[in-house]
Amino acid sequence: MNSLLAFLFLCFCFCSSALSRPYNAIFNFGDSLSDTGNLLRSRSHAVPAIGKLPYGETFFRHATGRCSDGRLVIDFIAEAFGLPHLPPYLGLKQGQNFSRGVNFAVAGATALDADFFYKRKSGIILWTNHSLTVQLGWFRNLKSSLCTSTQECDKYMKNSLFMVGEIGGNDYNDAYFVGESISEVQSFVPLVVEAITAATAALIEEGAVELVVPGNLPIGCSAVYLTLFQSPNRADYDENGCLKAFNDFAKYHNNYLKRSLHALRTKYPFAKIMYADYYGATIPLLHAPKHHGFYEGTLKACCGGGGPYNFNKSAKCGDVGSKACENPGSYVSWDGLHLTEAAYSFIAKAFLQSLPSLVA
């Protein structure tokens, strides 16, 4: 399938979903997988690499604060429902119309509050303290500007979609990157999931009716994990070249999250709480990348500073010594931790196609 046909196919799928499930607004919470510019606006001095090219080069032709070469899953979902790309909360201007939705996600954000990590004294240095609780507070502050009467708010909230994540990945990444073991990190999975489900419940109490809670990606297939935790033992890798132990951990988190969401549905039977299987949506790309147009494979990053997986922590994407590939659309991984626009569009399509069965 050439690029034009692929584009038309995606448009058909997205437009079909938009016709069958209209929303008036989308509100998004999360981390770098869905941040559309909040981290960039939260830093008053040093501009992170995501604030300059090659980030954003594919679609926007300039850096927007997105951790990719172009659009993210949340962008494709907004387009699918005929809504504009969500403006970052920290970029809102006085008098701006944000009734079609707002993005509260911040790159580097954790599900758990910053105090949890500082009290553990593990040496973790957080990119931001704008945790899920903080983002929920932003929404509450904004809500009074979206509707006034109880009746108006009920109607508005019922016609809005709430994306709670993906989040939780940084809670684990930050711990792994300072040397904590899988068993140590696994010990606080229940706390991370509890934070996610608590935020979901809080939004329902605020009036949300339709909510999506995505799971984590297969982190054992990311270039950063493959580089930092490479093993001489071939048995540590699966048939796709991914680290089995870290993928098993991602599945552990996802299964725990799914069980917790099931309990939440019992508590709030009137709400539609949908689990978005980002892990499962990525699996086809790992098994048959060329079949889906990813001719450079799945494990090597498009943008980086060299090495077996083109990830170099001394020359990460955007740093001096790094270089972006010529065709990001043929790669799954953008910078070793985040994906390309092409990969995100694939995941978004898989999610949109699953909506009817998830909502039923």
Residues marked active site are found at 32, 335, 338
Per-state percent for the chain, helix, strand, coil, to nearest 5: 45, 10, 45
Between CA 165 and CA 290 the distance in angstroms is 29
199, two tokens: 């935020």
The per-type count for the chain, helices as H runs and strands as E runs, is 13, 7
Residue 220 contacts residue 157 (beta carbons within 8 Å): no
C-alpha span between 9 and 44 (Å, rounded):
42
Q: What is the DSSP letter of 137?
A: H
> Residue 249 in 3-state DSSP?
helix
Tokens describing residue 46? 């040093």
CB 340 within 8 A of CB 70: yes
Rounded distance between C-alpha atoms, residue 171 and residue 116, angstroms? 10
CB neighbour burial string for 136-156, b if at least 16 within 10 angstroms, e if fewer: bebbeeeeeebbeeeeebeeb
Cα R_g (the chain), whole angstroms: 19
Distance CA 103, CA 157 (A): 15
Cα gap 282→218, rounded to integer Å: 8
Q: Which residues lie below 8 Å from residue 98, measured CB to CB, with a gap of 6+?
A: 87, 92, 142, 145, 146
Residue pair 143/208 in contact (Cβ under 8 Å)? The answer is: no
String of DSSP letters for 182-242: HHHHHTTHHHHHHHHHHHHHHHHHTT--EEEEE----GGGSHHHHHHT--S-GGGB-TTS-
